[in-house]
């Protein structure tokens, strides 16, 4: 790709971001958009009423930046919980990594790359210069300048390992402090038991009481069986909606809103007193709930919440295999009430195992299927292929601006559109694996999305560009560094445009909230106020964390290969830091709290990125005819793995459970 194509992509995306920021700064001031841009504050009743019109409401401003920047980490913790703090720490960690890489890459390595002569460059036409002139590919084979890249790889590895250790240590301390400071809650003393075996003499409830009172006579307190309550849950949900409507009708002063039709969408049926109608409906729902509760006998499922007299008792029960059969009497930490996901409480060990197999097969199939849009994207980055396949477009493709848009902007845009379909699928796959907590589903979806993104966005885009025809070599492990060294540097320009298109605009659109804005506009036009409670969303960790980690992987692997990517990553992380702080304070409300257990995912992904960087370095120094540097790089992945092993033993147990000393 030439420099002019990159500048075209940057210009288009910069313009989009500017439009998003300008429109947001105006629309957020309009009273009707409070449910879109500050739903959390609106639900908490903390928004200032703006009934009077003034010109300031129509002028863009940057006051939101200051309000997002000012709150301390303690204030953020009070608003967004430890998970929100860990998410922001992830962005800050990535910003530090990319910042250090920028100092090394832009100040030391980029000039060395540009002064090379491996690639023939026409300096008279700077805008049409190839971006490979700024990469390590332009450094002459065997040049002593490559030792600067070698030293940078070692220095960068040491810096990242230091940061990883500091962050892991600090976040694990915050996790323990969070547990110390939290008030005792029922779930701290409770474990969830699944796979309760049926007895010919006792009911499921009797079996649970007999089993735990015999094994834990001094620790066991009580138990609560889980029942099939689908009908009751629906009735309770309907009753809550009716209660909100009654509260709204009682609060309104307009008599016209207290009378209406109760047919389809309020358009059919006779006019009635809505307050009386909904009060009668609420009474009927309460009677139905009581009737369904009386019919629960015999609807027990083989799962129960078992409570102990101390936190230590619950911790002991979690760590010990309960029954002789390892598929029965399975214990796990009881989720907090708001985190519970009910559908799979009755699932047996076998059905959950089958579900996991199905999910693995579906995940692999989806990963393979996604190769199609990736191939389309890679085709668009090569004009000569388009001219060969579509000869009737030759004249159009010769237009400079058209070719720049097609090769510089369109590929990343298409990939972005396809990627938007993946997170809901990953969450759906995770939800059928038998988890009983929304946080477990979110973490599982986060893992799936991360590795799906790394494979399809990074590896396949890199490999399909230059060495897909050498698939037989991939089966030989010793050839992998060489293959990566050939393939990865060649896709640097594509990933730069990917950062601009999917990083910058995604961050800006996160602030603008396009779909909620459209939905709110449609509701205000076609639906009257009904007193429905404001729906406050939660931050989708399963899609946002993998996206941030992918950009981190690009920064780590390309900092010495093509340092030109680093300024664009710095802009992205600065935007993300401000925007997500703002969203956590004003838009999102946590639906669960895991105590920061997303951080091990961050740590593992960063270590993987380091190992990938080392493998590419071994191959690139070999290709550049500097075998001694290649050999000296081999100890780096070994040292990194040893460091990772230490961190896993030192910090990871804190994220799997709480020590007895804390309990």
Q: How does pLDDT run across 241-268, given as a tens digit for each residue?
A: 778 777 777 766 555 556 666 655 555 5
Sign of CA dihedral 94, 100, 104, 110: positive
CA 490/CA 84 separation, integer angstroms: 37
SS3 for 340?
strand
Q: Which of 41-55, 427-441, 470-484 has the lowest mean pLDDT?
A: 470-484
pLDDT over 70, % of the chain? 82
Query: Could you give the CA distance from residue 263 to residue 268 in angstroms, rounded to a whole number?
Result: 4
pLDDT for res 522: 80
Instruction: Return the axis-axis angle of helices 73-104 and 566-586, rounded to nearest 10°.
Output: 180
d(CA 552, CA 606): 8
Q: Which residue has the higher pLDDT, 341 or 463?
A: 341
Q: What percent of the chain has pLDDT over 90?
A: 40
Q: Is the pLDDT of residue 623 over 60?
A: yes
How far is Cα of residue 591 from the mean position of the Cα atoms in its chain? 15
Instruction: Give percent helix, percent strand, percent coil of the chain, each to the nearest 5.
Output: 70, 5, 25
Summarize the confidence of residues 153-172 as an average pLDDT. 96
Question: Tell me: the pLDDT tens digits for 193-219?
Answer: 998 998 888 888 899 999 999 999 999
Pick from 637, 640, 620: which is nearest to 629 by CA?
620
Band the pLDDT of 396: cuts 50, 70, 90: low
- Which pLDDT belongs to residue 51? 57
Which H/E stretch holds residue 485?
Answer: helix 480-490
Per-residue pLDDT reduced to its tens digit, 87-114: 999 999 999 999 999 999 999 999 898 8
pTM of the model: 0.86
Residue 116 sits at φ, ψ, to 5 deg, of -70, 170
Average pLDDT, the chain: 83
pLDDT digits (tens, 9 = 90+) for 278-299: 777 888 888 787 777 666 666 7
Q: Which of 83-87, 352-356, 415-419, 564-568 has the lowest mean pLDDT?
A: 415-419
- Please state the rounded mean pLDDT for residues 513-529: 76
- Return the DSSP state at 196: P
C-beta neighbour count of 26 within 10 angstroms: 15
- Asked if the model's pLDDT at residue 527 lies above 70, the reply is no
């Amino acid at each position: 790709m030439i420099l002019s194509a990159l500048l075209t992509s940057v210009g288009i995306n910069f313009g989009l971001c500017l439009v998003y920021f300008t429109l947001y700064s105006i629309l957020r001031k309009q009273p009707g958009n409070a449910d879109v841009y500050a739903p959390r504050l609106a639900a908490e009743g903390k928004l200032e009423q703006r009934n009077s019109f003034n010109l300031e409401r129509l002028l863009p401003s940057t006051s939101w930046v200051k309000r997002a920047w000012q709150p301390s980490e303690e204030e953020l913790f009070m608003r967004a919980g430890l998970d929100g703090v860990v998410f922001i720490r992830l962005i800050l960690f990535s910003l530090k990594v990319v910042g250090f890489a920028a100092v090394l890459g832009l100040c030391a390595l980029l000039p060395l790359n540009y002064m090379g002569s491996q690639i023939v460059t026409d300096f008279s036409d700077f805008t049409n210069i190839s971006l490979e002139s700024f990469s390590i590919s332009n450094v002459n084979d065997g040049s002593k300048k490559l030792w600067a890249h070698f030293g940078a790889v070692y220095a960068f590895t040491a810096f990242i390992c230091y940061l990883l250790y500091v962050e892991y240590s600090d976040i694990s301390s915050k996790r323990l402090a969070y547990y110390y400071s939290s008030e005792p809650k029922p779930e701290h003393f409770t474990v969830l038991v699944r796979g309760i075996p049926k007895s010919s003499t006792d009911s499921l409830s009797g079996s649970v009481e007999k089993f735990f009172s015999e094994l834990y006579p001094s620790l066991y307190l009580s138990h609560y069986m889980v029942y099939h309550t689908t009908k009751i849950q629906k009735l309770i949900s309907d009753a809550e909606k009716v209660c909100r409507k009654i509260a709204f009708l009682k609060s309104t002063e307009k008599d016209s809103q207290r009378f209406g039709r109760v047919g389809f969408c309020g358009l059919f049926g006779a006019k009635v007193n809505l307050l009386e109608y909904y009060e009668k409906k609420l009474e009927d729902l309460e009677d139905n709930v009581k009737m369904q509760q009386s019919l629960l006998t015999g609807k027990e499922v083989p799962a129960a919440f078992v409570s102990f007299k101390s936190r230590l008792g619950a911790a002991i029960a979690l760590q010990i295999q309960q029954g002789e059969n390892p598929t029965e009497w399975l214990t796990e930490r009881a989720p907090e009430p708001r985190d519970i996901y009910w559908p799979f409480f009755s699932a047996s060990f076998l059905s959950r195992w089958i579900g996991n197999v199905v999910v693995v097969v579906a995940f692999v199939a989806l990963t393979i299927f996604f190769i199609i849009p990736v191939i389309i994207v890679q085709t668009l980055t090569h004009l000569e292929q388009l001219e060969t396949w579509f000869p009737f477009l030759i004249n159009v493709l010769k237009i400079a601006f058209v070719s720049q848009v097609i090769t510089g902007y369109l590929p990343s845009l298409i990939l972005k559109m396809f990627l938007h379909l993946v997170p809901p699928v990953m969450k759906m796959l995770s939800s059928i694996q038998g988890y009983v907590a929304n946080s477990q589903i979110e973490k599982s979806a986060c893992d799936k999305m991360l590795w799906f993104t790394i494979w399809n966005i990074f590896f396949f885009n890199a490999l399909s560009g230059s060495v897909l025809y050498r698939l037989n070599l991939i089966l030989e492990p010793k050839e992998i560094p060489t293959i990566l060294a050939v393939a990865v540097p060649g896709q640097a320009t594509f990933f730069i445009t990917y950062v601009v298109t999917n990083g910058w605009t995604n961050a800006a659109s996160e602030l603008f909230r396009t779909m909620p804005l459209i939905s709110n506009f449609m509701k205000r036009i076609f639906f009257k106020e009904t007193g429905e409670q404001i729906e406050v969303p939660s931050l989708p960790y399963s899609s946002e964390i993998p996206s941030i980690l992918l950009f981190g992987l690009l920064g780590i692997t390309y900092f010495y290969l093509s340092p030109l990517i680093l300024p664009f990553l710095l802009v992205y992380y600065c935007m993300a830091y401000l925007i997500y702080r703002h969203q956590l304070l004003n838009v999102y409300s946590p639906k669960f709290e895991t105590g920061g257990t997303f951080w091990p995912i961050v740590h593992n992904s960063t270590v993987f990125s380091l190992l990938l960087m080392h493998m590419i370095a071994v191959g690139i120094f070999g290709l550049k005819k500097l075998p001694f540097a290649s050999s000296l790089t081999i100890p780096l992945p070994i040292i990194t793995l040893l460091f990772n092993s230490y961190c896993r033993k030192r910090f990871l147990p804190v994220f799997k459970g709480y020590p007895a000393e804390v309990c």
